[in-house]
Amino acid sequence: MARRTAAASQPDAHARSAANDAASRIAAWQRRAGRHGLPWQQTRDPYRIWLSEIMLQQTQAATVVPYYERFLDLFPTVVDLADAAQDAVLHAWAGLGYYARARNLHRCAQVLRDAHGGRFPATAEELARLPGIGPSTAAAIAAFAYGERAPILDGNVRRVLSRYFAVEGDPTGARTLQRLWAHAQALIDAAPAALDMAAYTQGQMDLGATVCTRTRPDCARCPLEADCRARIEGRQDALPSPRARRAQPLRHCWMLIAECKGRVLLERRPDAGIWGGLWSLPQFEDTGALQAACAGLATAGSPQAMAAIDHVFTHFRLRIQPCLLKLPGTVLVPAEPGRAWVPIGTLDAYGMPAPVARLLAGLYPGKLPPR
């Protein structure tokens, strides 16, 4: 596992000295001043912990809370999640983004049901072998559910350790990650046997989310202030080292809102690529393809262009040009494979990308809740 290999690097003398009581200080700070009201903090159930950890990847806690609570209402156990249809899982996830997480969540639940009797493995090493669970997520589950002394290294923790140990380099690069894993392991190795792993693990996350923030860190509130090298050297704003910024390319697409007899034509996205597995509007790369699709719907009319909308992904921006086509016929043209004519009143039952759901909610008020 990458975490074990990376941790083999030895931190320098300053790091070993600084690690002596840092973990205990973080745990004590968390019990005193950390976050305690998040719904997944009051449990040792690995299912609930796993669910929260997957949802929290690249998503803020305030956004996650309502999704987390709704998921547990729909899928109270990992077997309930495994038995659910993928459409139901994607629909419950719609709006959280990074939809591969939802597909992996469902697949992981099925592996747990079929190969583990619906039980979670009890070690980080075994957890990391499951679909969609990386080394840091596995360690977090093991620490919270079982008290395992396993280091984590999510985005918040990378920032904390980069500053505390003054680690140079892109914190997502392989060499820098190797050093950070080594420091994360050293903190645990130097900690007393009685270290409260749940408080320590949560404390690292809380520090990065609420104190050692990306901009304007509040060093006066930090339990590591006294020996944080970035603070001592006045380099809080310079660390972690910034990633090389790349220009975000702008891509264009056309989406067809074909309406007939109170129904809208939807198509399922392929599992690979953006919005994988969700239901969306038929999408085209140019107006020629759009016009050909309209002709295939047996209408002489032209689609009506609506206001374009932009949606930002991690590596590019997508400009969506929606076009509305109201078919005058009284008989629906048969939908091609992978497409369906969906009654407007049931659109909310389909898991859709957030920008598509917002577009249809504006066009058909009251039929879909706002996202």
Structure tokens at 53: 């950890």
Residue bearing tokens 């008989």: 331
Q: Are 248 and 316 in contact (CB under 8 A)?
A: yes
Dist CA 189 CA 20 (whole Å): 9
Q: Which two tokens stand for residue 10?
A: 């030895």
Question: Any idea how long the chain is?
Answer: 371
Question: For residue 227, with 0-12 CB atoms within 10 Å meaning exposed, 13-18 middle and 19 or more buried, which class applies?
Answer: middle
Do residues 86 and 103 touch, judged by C-beta distance below 8 A? yes
d(CA 322, CA 83): 36
Q: Report the candidate in 228, 197, 233 with the shortest Cα–Cα distance to residue 211.
A: 228
Active-site positions?
A: 53
Residue 206, classified by CB atoms within 10 Å of its CB into exposed (0-12), middle (13-18) or buried (19+), is buried
- What does the alpha-carbon distance between residue 356 and residue 342 come to, in Å, rounded to a whole number? 14
Cα–Cα distance measured from residue 311 to residue 166, given in angstroms and rounded to the nearest whole number? 36
C-alpha 104/C-alpha 271 separation (Å) is 11
CA distances from 174 to 13, 76, 155, 156 (A): 22, 38, 14, 17
Beta bridge partner(s), residue 325? 258
